[in-house]
Each structure stands twice: as C-alpha cells, then as structure tokens.
Amino acid sequence: MKRVYMDRFIDAIEWVAAFFIGIVAINIFVAVLLRNVFNYTIPDSFDIGRLLLGILIFWGIAATSYRGTHITVDLIWANVGPKWQRAIDVFATLVLLFVVSVQTYTLFDKVRQTYYDNVLTFDLRMPNWPFFALAWIGDFAAVLLIAVRTYRLVTQPEAMREPKPNLAE
C-alpha cells in the first residue's frame, strides 16, 4: 500500500514537470506569434519565459532523476555482472543525491536573497522570488525522489529495473 502512494507522488511530480513544459511552449508560441504576426510584444515575455524555463529545468531534474532516464555512461556498467551493476547504481545514485541536496540548499539561499533584494521583472515589476521558489520546490522534489530511488535500489532492486521490450511482438 505504501508503494502505491509513493508511485502516485512520483507520477504527480512527473505531471507537474509536463505541465511546465506545456506552459513554456505556450509562452514561446504566443510570444512569437504576436511578435511576428501583429508586431506586438507581450510585456516581460522574455523574463517570464526565462523564469519558467528555470522552473522547468528543476522539475525536469526531479522527473528524470527517479526514473534514471538522464544521460548516463554505461561503459563499465554494461560489462560487469548484476551484483556490480547494482553497486554502481547505488553509488551513482548516492552521488546524485549528494549533489542535488547541495544544489537544493544553495538554491534556497538564492530564493531567500531574491526575496529580500526585491528583484523584479523589467516591464511589469513582478517579483522574481515566486518563480525561484517554484524552481526550489522542484529541486526539493528531486531530492525526495532520489532518496526514494536510493532506498528502492538497496531494498528492491528488481522493482527499479526497466522492463525490456519484447521485440518478437
């Protein structure tokens, strides 16, 4: 039962990342359409797009880190047995957990500093800190998911293996 709730949490984080991909795509599409067809620029469209892209990156880190679908180099991993593959997976995930945890800590400081410095967008004078806070939440979600991945790699490694496609079908 506990696994079902965690899988729903993981799926929700992936949906949030997908939502931000859609928002970034819509922002770019509308900005380009209005600029090229109607010769009109949305106020702060560049700043908003830049800030949304930052949010998307950190939520994307969360989505890809759990599944292990980020860029990997499997030169050694592919040439060792299952026991060593598991050890490499656990070690690599622990390193990733450490790096993303430090990143999350430093990003929180950036959110706090942006809030206290009252950093605003150029045209509409919108505060930047809410965008930074959404990015930080995505980064924090990445830490949680990497911790879950590490736990599952240690306790249930078979559950973390991707099913191999059946090419005969």
pLDDT average per 10 residues of sequence, the chain (169 residues): 76 89 92 93 91 92 78 78 89 93 96 96 95 96 92 82 53
Q: From the CB of residue 6, how many other CB atoms can be counted at a distance below 10 Å?
A: 15
Distance CA 167, CA 169 (A): 5
Total number of domains in the chain? 1
Range of the domain at 155: 2-160
pLDDT for 72: 67
Q: What is the pLDDT of residue 157?
A: 78
Query: For residue 20, which of 140, 155, 138, 166 has the smallest C-alpha distance?
Result: 138
Give the predicted TM-score (pTM) of the model.
0.83
pLDDT at 69: 64
DSSP state of 165: P
Q: Tell me how far apart the alpha carbons of residues 68 and 157 are, in angstroms, rounded to a whole number.
A: 13
Please report the pLDDT score of residue 1 as a whole number. 52
Residue 167 within a domain? no
Task: Report yes or no on 103 lying in a domain.
Answer: yes
Number of residues that this document lists for the chain:
169
- Examine residue 57 and state whether it is found in any structural domain, yes or no: yes
pLDDT of residue 158: 75
The per-residue pLDDT for 162 is 59
Asked if residue 166 belongs to a domain, the reply is no
Residue 44 inside a domain? The answer is yes
Q: Is residue 169 part of a domain?
A: no
16 in a structural domain: yes
